Amino acid sequence: MRTSNKGFSVIVASHGRIELLANLLSSLNRSRSVIDENIEVLVIDSTPVNHSEEVCDTCKRFGAILIEGPLNVRRKRNIGAQSATREWLFFVDSDCEVSLHIFEAYRRVFLSDKEIRAAAGPTVFRGDETSFTKLIRKSALLDPFRRPNNSTHLLWSTTSNLCIRRDVFESIGGFREDFPFRLGGDDTDLCLRLRDLGHVIISVPEALCYHSWATWSRPSLVVRRSFRWGWMHSRLMRDHPRYRRFDAPGLPVHMLAVIAIGIIGSITGDVKIILIPVLFFGLAILLHALFASLYTPQKWLAFIEDLALALVELPFGFGRALGSLANGSLLGILYRLDADDVAMDSMFPETVRSLWSDHLALLCSSFIIWWII
């Protein structure tokens, strides 16, 4: 194992996004200028040849080390870690910027306790918004970015703002590269393997990163991301049984039920029964939005917001269910990923709303089809 020089190695996996990359590198230079610390910046890039020269010029302008990498984001991060020379590896996404005193905040925490091996800070979304991003601000998909604001010890954190000691990163083998999809789930897996060795991930609320809304502004991209995260969630529950907890029988369970009903309808030739899945999902979305708007002053706004949230969050449930079935199990349907059952308390209001809307939607769908028949 290599010896570590003091300081930070910043690892950025990039592909295109040249303007956003320049913003990140500029913010890193500002942060480096206010601290007496050895900090190197490594950009592992897979931008197509027709734009690669722009990436090269951008890295030269801001003093970053450019390394050519594959499309696979996990592999890029591992290549960056293998090339790093500093004691601490700091992972940040190319569509982020860092706060001025982020390295001071991390250094202060590491010096306060020599036993700390990993830490993470919150990632705050900011920048130009669209009507779509304004509607999804409260989405559960963004919870992992916010979590370091509220927790002392984290189950896992996103690689938009994660710092880990290099020798520990190497001892657990870095990021796994055998997952499906080019990205997603690898940060969770890395952190869970870290916890398996007895290490904890400390939250550092002062170590802020800022995420651009630009890469979350297109509904199609967010829907695909949500589905991919759901699929990977089911895979992680298979690979990390220690962190499985029984989940409330929500959307994935009902999804299986209505799909089974639809299959029965197709076998029997009864077209009306095949309509149950369509009725169920439509009613579940509408009922959930109605329940969410009951106790808010701006009822219509809350109703519309919840419909938008359904658009981006339902694919996560589909991904969980289909990912589990593809792996030949029901783990992603019956369980959730968490450290303990206490965490369920904070989710209780949303769980109740979801269960009521799903149960009522299934009951109403079945009744409507029975009445039509």
Tens place of pLDDT per residue across the chain (373 aa): 455 588 999 999 999 899 999 999 999 999 999 998 899 999 999 999 888 899 999 999 999 999 999 999 999 999 999 999 999 999 999 999 999 999 999 999 999 998 999 999 999 999 989 999 998 888 989 999 999 987 788 989 999 999 999 999 999 999 999 998 888 899 999 999 999 999 989 999 999 999 999 999 999 999 999 999 999 999 999 999 998 888 777 777 777 777 777 777 777 777 677 777 778 888 888 988 898 888 788 888 889 988 888 889 889 988 988 888 888 888 877 888 876 555 555 666 777 777 778 878 878 877 777 676 6
Amino acid 42: pLDDT: 98
Domain boundary, last residue among 167, 182, 217: 217
Alpha-helical (H) ranges within the chain are 18-33, 49-62, 73-83, 102-112, 131-135, 143-146, 166-171, 186-196, 219-239, 251-268, 271-293, 299-326, 331-334, 344-372
* 158 and 16 belong to one structural domain: yes
Does the predicted model carry a pTM greater than 0.75? yes
Scan for tokens 């569509």, then name that residue. Answer: 95
Residue 231 resides in a domain: no
Amino acid 225: pLDDT: 94
* 126 and 255 belong to one structural domain: no
Amino acid 258: pLDDT: 77
Amino acid 228: pLDDT: 94
Cα separation, 339 vs 344, in Å, equals 10
Amino acid 347: pLDDT: 64
Q: How far is CA 332 from CA 248, 250, 337, in A?
A: 12, 11, 9
Domain boundary, last residue among 217, 235, 257: 217
* 212 and 260 belong to one structural domain: no
Residue 114 resides in a domain: yes
Which amino acid is residue 305, in one-letter code?
Answer: E
Q: How far is CA 290 from CA 120, 250, 253, 306, 347, in A?
A: 36, 17, 22, 8, 18
Give the structural domain span for 11.
5-217
Amino acid 340: pLDDT: 57
Residue 226 resides in a domain: no
Residue 263, token pair as written in the block? 């299959």
* 159 and 264 belong to one structural domain: no
Cβ atoms within 10 A of the Cβ of 197, count? Answer: 10
Cα separation, 27 vs 14, in Å, equals 16
* 45 and 178 belong to one structural domain: yes
